[in-house]
Amino acid sequence: MSRPLRVLVADDHPMFREGLRFILGREPDLLVVGEADTGVHALRLVGELDPDVVVMDLAMPGLDGLAATRRLAEQGARVRVLVLTMSEDDESVFAAVRAGAGGYLVKGADPEQVVSAVRAVARGHAVFGPHLAGRMLSFFAHPPARTPQEVPGLSAREREVLTLLAEGLSNAEIGRVLFISPITVRNHVSSIFAKLQVSNRRQAMLRVRAHGEAPRG
């Protein structure tokens, strides 16, 4: 039997942390390993407790959840971040994604939705609440008109991989489309990330949007 997913709860409201600990603690595959009430506290506990997922509030005193999420990404921490906060405005959502969050839910989400989101984010999936998901899809499907900037150094094959990656295909699916092995796809993805100066698929998609469309040869 695999070990339970280790979860850190970061929120400055003790009652909310207690409720979240209760919800997550009922699941046999989830283990709440700690609680933080500030962004600085969350960063310290990530280093000490090695959680798989941080359930992160954005509005915390001192270093807020957005800055803490960004620092974790900059440090190359393996932990995934699920934002669970009060704000649902587009600016907060996209700022969290740019900072490296793997998911975003608004407080008041059903307990089952929170539990499912923790599991999905731990597996590397992007998760958003129902209302937010529609806005995210619209955001990527209809980017504002811009003059696309050339992404230097990408080969024709890397442009093909990047286009399929931006459409949400997995490495295995990209391999089947392009008739190349998953290992070759992985190597192309690593090269693309290095050239775009990003560390994950979400950031690559944001970079693609910044260019107006997926770069093509």
Q: How many CB atoms lie within 10 A of CB 189?
A: 18
- The per-residue pLDDT of the chain, averaged, comes to 83
At 31, is the secondary structure helix, strand, or coil? strand
Residue 180 has pLDDT above 80, yes or no: yes
Query: What residue ranges do the domains of the chain occupy?
Result: 5-139, 156-210
Q: How many CA atoms lie within 13 A of 36 on its CB side?
A: 30
- Provide, rounded to the nearest whole percent, the portion of the chain with pLDDT above 70: 82
CA pair distance 6, 33, nearest whole angstrom: 6
Please tell me the distance from the alpha carbon of residue 5 to that of residue 122, in angstroms, as a whole number: 8
How many residues does the structure list for the chain? 217
Hey, what are 94's tokens?
């996209």
Q: Does domain 5-139 have CATH number 3.40.50.2300?
A: yes
State pLDDT tens for residues 68-100: 999 998 888 899 999 999 987 777 888 888 888
Name, of 18-22, 72-76, 212-216, the range with top average pLDDT.
18-22
Q: What is the reported pLDDT for 165?
A: 79
Token readout for 132 is 């937010």
Contact assessment for residue 105 and residue 113, using Cβ atoms and an 8 Å cutoff: yes
Q: What is the pLDDT of residue 173?
A: 84
The CATH-assigned architecture of domain 156-210 is Orthogonal Bundle (1.10)
Is the predicted pLDDT of residue 149 greater than 50, yes or no?
Answer: no
Q: Is the pTM of this model over 0.75?
A: no
**Long-range pairs, 176-181, Cβ under 8 A, ≥24:** none
Distance CA 182, CA 186 (A): 6
